[in-house]
């Protein structure tokens, strides 16, 4: 019987009301396509973020100026970190390598072309720890700078190929804030345009050309066997005693990953809510179409009842038909959504954001198809009940 119901409903949709059926499922597949595309992209981004933090490792702690609260990072105007803070952190039990970092935007000139990008100052004797161990990246050309390379630079992946009109090679010279630097090495791709366009120089040199003694962030690695969370709490206590207040943030890798994942999760909920409006409109469209179908097929309903169809049969026929309308919209929406998701990924890669990947898990497709089918059936419930309750005599007389 179920097979016959489906065949009858499918025949009605495909052969009798093609144009109306297409317009009805339009609202459904637009909403489903939006849900599938946007969740696929955001899920891919969450996976990429998780993989990045796994590369960094769970034993890395980051200290930043400003307090991280419910409203986000309040670092603007906050007291900057200093060399004294670095000394305090270095003396805490369980702390291994400590790397103060200075980050500034600077004018970079190469072959007469001027561009602005981030320049990161890192300690000369800790370049390997910061870049290879704490940041989880590799040197793919040349080498890291040494203590003697006061004006040596390591360039991000994109600087070499597509930042300037001419390609930058290891051994070339470029100007940073009016000072000439020699490119010593190039690091691997991180995955986003900003990080891949950074330039790394010695901390002392960065302080010299930017005329500051401030520290933008402190990255440290916990000694093997030490409790990361306990070390982080001890750092908070010591720095709070020195500052007089907690005007800084101490974050472990797991905490940073959790914060990013939560933010992306909220974005996903907002996306689903927006797309849900389109699905609601689609559901109303199915209800309207089914009411119209019941009116047009009143006489047919009367004939079916006259030859023995029960109220349950009529109810099931219209519920299956409305469910199929939703399901077909879901199938089309999934296909379009997947195409859009990978289209976004392709566009992001062109723009230099290779970290942004599309991920289409099976649960998302199953949810989209199941939800669209259930939505269709729910939208067709009232019209189906109206059809099932028709008096067969009145239905046969209907013109």
Q: Let me know whether 230 and 155 are in one domain.
A: yes
Closest CA to 338 of 44, 17, 15, 27: 44
pLDDT of residue 13: 63
Structural domain ending residue among the three candidates 216, 246, 276: 246
Assess whether pLDDT exceeds 50 at residue 71: no
Q: Let me know whether 160 and 233 are in one domain.
A: yes
Q: Let me know whether 291 and 338 are in one domain.
A: yes
pLDDT of residue 12: 65
Burial of 106 (0-12, 13-18, 19+ CB in 10 A): buried
Assess whether pLDDT exceeds 80 at residue 295: no
Closest CA to 301 of 323, 324, 322, 318: 318
pLDDT of residue 1: 61
In a domain? residue 59: no
pTM above 0.85, yes or no: no
In a domain? residue 252: no
CA separation, residue 133 to residues 58, 103, 184, 203, 363 (Å): 11, 19, 19, 18, 35
Q: At 73, is the pLDDT very low, low, confident or very high (cuts 50, 70, 90)?
A: very low
In a domain? residue 148: yes
How do 152-155 and 179-187 pair as beta strands?
Answer: parallel
How far apart are the two ends of the chain, measured CA to CA in Å? 30
The alpha-helical segments, DSSP class H, found in the chain are 2-11, 18-56, 83-90, 127-128, 157-158, 193-196, 203-210, 228-243, 253-296, 298-306, 311-350, 362-379, 381-388, 392-397
Helices 362-379, 253-296: axis angle to 10 degrees equals: 30
Q: What is the per-residue pLDDT across 246-281, written as a single tens digit (0 to 9) for each? A: 888 888 877 777 777 777 778 778 877 777 776 777
- Which residue range forms the structural domain that includes residue 172? 80-246
Q: Let me know whether 232 and 372 are in one domain.
A: no
pLDDT of residue 7: 65
Q: Let me know whether 115 and 49 are in one domain.
A: no
- Range of weakest confidence among 56-60, 213-217, 337-341: 56-60
pLDDT of residue 72: 45
In a domain? residue 26: yes
In a domain? residue 188: yes
Q: Let me know whether 300 and 220 are in one domain.
A: no
Question: CA 232, 233, 235, 239 torsion: positive or negative?
Answer: positive
Q: Let me know whether 241 and 262 are in one domain.
A: no
> Rounded to an integer, what distance in angstroms lies between the CA atom of residue 91 and that of residue 386?
78
Q: Let me know whether 38 and 98 are in one domain.
A: no
In a domain? residue 153: yes
Please give the average per-residue pLDDT across 114-138, as a whole number.
Answer: 79
Bridge partners of 217, per DSSP, are 101
- Range of weakest confidence among 45-49, 131-135, 191-195, 219-223: 131-135
Q: Let me know whether 88 and 20 are in one domain.
A: no
> Rounded to an integer, what distance in angstroms lies between the CA atom of residue 27 and that of residue 283?
8
Q: At 174, is the pLDDT very low, low, confident or very high (cuts 50, 70, 90)?
A: very high
Q: What is the per-residue pLDDT across 180-229, written as a single tens digit (0 to 9) for each? A: 999 999 988 877 778 888 999 999 999 999 999 889 999 888 888 888 88
In a domain? residue 376: yes
% of the chain at pLDDT higher than 70: 83
Q: Let me know whether 273 and 380 are in one domain.
A: yes
Residue 231 host element (H or E): helix 228-243
Q: How many domains does the chain have?
A: 2
In a domain? residue 267: yes
Q: Let me know whether 6 and 140 are in one domain.
A: no
Q: Let me know whether 219 and 273 are in one domain.
A: no
pLDDT of residue 70: 41
Q: Which residue has the higher pLDDT, 351 or 195?
A: 195
Bridge partners of 113, per DSSP, are 110
């Amino acid at each position: 019987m179920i097979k016959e119901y489906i065949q009858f409903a499918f025949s009605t949709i495909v052969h009798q009301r093609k144009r109306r059926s297409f317009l009805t499922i339009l609202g459904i597949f637009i909403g489903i396509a939006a849900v599938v595309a946007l969740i696929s992209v955001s899920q891919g981004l969450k996976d990429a973020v998780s993989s990045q933090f796994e590369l960094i490792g769970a034993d890395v702690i980051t200290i930043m100026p400003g307090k991280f609260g419910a409203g986000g990072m309040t670092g603007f105007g906050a007291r900057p970190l200093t060399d004294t803070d670095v000394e305090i952190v270095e003396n805490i039990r369980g702390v291994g390598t400590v790397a103060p970092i200075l980050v500034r935007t600077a004018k970079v000139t190469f072959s007469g072309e001027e561009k602005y990008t981030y320049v990161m100052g890192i300690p000369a004797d800790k370049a390997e720890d910061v870049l290879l161990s704490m940041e989880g990246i590799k040197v793919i050309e040349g080498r890291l700078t040494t203590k003697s390379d006061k004006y040596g630079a390591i360039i991000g992946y994109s600087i070499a190929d597509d930042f300037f009109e001419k390609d930058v090679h290891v051994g070339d010279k470029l100007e940073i804030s009016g000072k000439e630097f020699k490119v010593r090495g190039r690091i691997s791709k991180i995955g986003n345009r900003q990080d891949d366009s950074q330039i790394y120089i010695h901390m002392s040199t960065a302080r010299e050309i930017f005329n500051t003694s401030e520290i933008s962030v402190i990255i440290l690695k916990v000694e093997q066997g030490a409790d990361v969370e306990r070390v982080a709490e001890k750092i908070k206590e010591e720095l709070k005693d020195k500052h007089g207040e907690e005007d800084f943030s101490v974050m472990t890798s797991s905490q940073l990953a959790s914060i990013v994942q939560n933010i992306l999760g909220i974005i996903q909920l907002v996306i689903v809510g927006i797309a849900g409006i389109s699905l609601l409109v689609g559901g109303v469209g199915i209800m309207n179409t089914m009411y119209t179908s019941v009116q047009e097929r009143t006489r047919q309903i009367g004939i079916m009842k006259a030859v023995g169809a029960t109220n349950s049969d009529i109810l099931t026929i219209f519920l299956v038909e409305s469910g199929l309308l939703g399901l077909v919209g879901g199938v089309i929406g999934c296909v379009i959504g997947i195409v859009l998701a990978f289209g976004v990924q392709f566009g992001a890669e062109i723009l230099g954001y290779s970290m942004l990947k599309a991920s289409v898990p099976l649960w998302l497709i199953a949810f989209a198809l199941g939800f669209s089918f259930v939505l269709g059936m729910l939208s067709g419930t009232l019209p189906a009940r109206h059809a099932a309750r028709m008096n067969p005599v009145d239905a046969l007389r209907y013109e």
